[in-house]
Amino acid sequence: MNLGLLSRAALVFACSAFTAIAVAAPVTYIIDSGHTYPAFEADHQGGLSIWRGKIERTEGTVMFDKEAQSGTVEVTMDMASIDFGHAGMNEHAMAADILDVARFPTATYVGQLADFVDGSPTAVEGELTLHGVTLPVDLTINRFRCQPHFRHGREVCGADAETVIDRGAFGVTYDLDHGFFPEVKLLITIEAQIPPEG
């Protein structure tokens, strides 16, 4: 057998294997706080109306391995940035009898991407820490997409997700004894991108 040919074949195989490993490696995306807004809908007076708001400041990461169809999400939310579009409600929501932001300044969500369909996750299985209480909370992903950013070309991934939590289970019990519904719908818009090199 031609040893030169064998050596070249071995080199090609090694390079191919290395490339496959490199392609399959998980990629970490940094959450873009300017395009990531956990929003919510909460009952007012037992069905009288719905209060809507969002968290203005978030940070965290998304790790996504396309080949292995796996990944993780880690998000920290600044609860002092809560915004109902009503200054008085914002202030009261942060007070000790509701979210008690002085004691619990952040909420966190940590989860695993799950239930992949056609290469994209359709769910997140994780835990939410809110008001000092950590409970299992799974998200339904309505849409998930990755593509090159139209300005700088680095890959960006975006998702739209939702779930419903019981705020009473997290110790946020304000006015539940007056007939307010405990269910809070979470509507989460997230974008995360590969950071620039260097």
- 118-135: per-residue pLDDT in tens? 999 999 999 999 999 999
Residue whose pair of structure tokens reads 């004691």 in the numeric block: 103
In this predicted model, which residue has the larger pLDDT, 174 or 11? 174
Work out the pLDDT band at 198, boundaries 50, 70, 90: low
Question: Which one is the CATH code of 26-193: 3.40.50.2000, 2.40.128.110, 2.30.29.30, 2.60.40.180?
Answer: 2.40.128.110
Give the tokens for residue 107. Answer: 């909420």
Residue 20 pLDDT exceeds 90: no
Give the tokens for residue 180. Answer: 């307010």
What pLDDT, on the 0 to 100 scale, is given for residue 32? Answer: 96
Residue 2 pLDDT exceeds 70: no
Angstrom distance (rounded) from CA 125 to CA 60: 17
What pLDDT, on the 0 to 100 scale, is given for residue 60? Answer: 97
For 80-110, write each residue's pLDDT tens digit.
999 999 999 999 999 999 999 999 999 999 9
Residue 85 per-residue DSSP state: S
- How many Å is the Cα radius of gyration of the chain? 22
Q: How many residues does the chain have?
A: 198
- Rounded to 5°, the CA angle 66-119-75 comes to 60
Residue 77 pLDDT exceeds 80: yes
What residues contact 17, with CB distance under 8 A and at least 6 apart? none
CB-count exposure of residue 27 (10 Å: 0-12, 13-18, 19+): middle
For 154-178, write each residue's pLDDT tens digit.
999 999 999 999 999 999 999 999 9
β-strand partners of 111: 73, 126
What pLDDT, on the 0 to 100 scale, is given for residue 17? Answer: 43
Q: Provide long-range contacts, Cβ within 8 A and 24+ apart, for 66-69.
A: 66/27, 66/119, 66/146, 67/23, 67/24, 68/24, 68/26, 69/116, 69/119, 69/121
Contact status, residue 54 vs residue 40, Cβ threshold 8 Å: yes
Q: Give the residue ranges of DSSP H helices in 74-149.
A: 87-93
Work out the pLDDT band at 10, boundaries 50, 70, 90: very low
Domain coordinates of the chain in residue numbers? 26-193
What pLDDT, on the 0 to 100 scale, is given for residue 197? Answer: 80
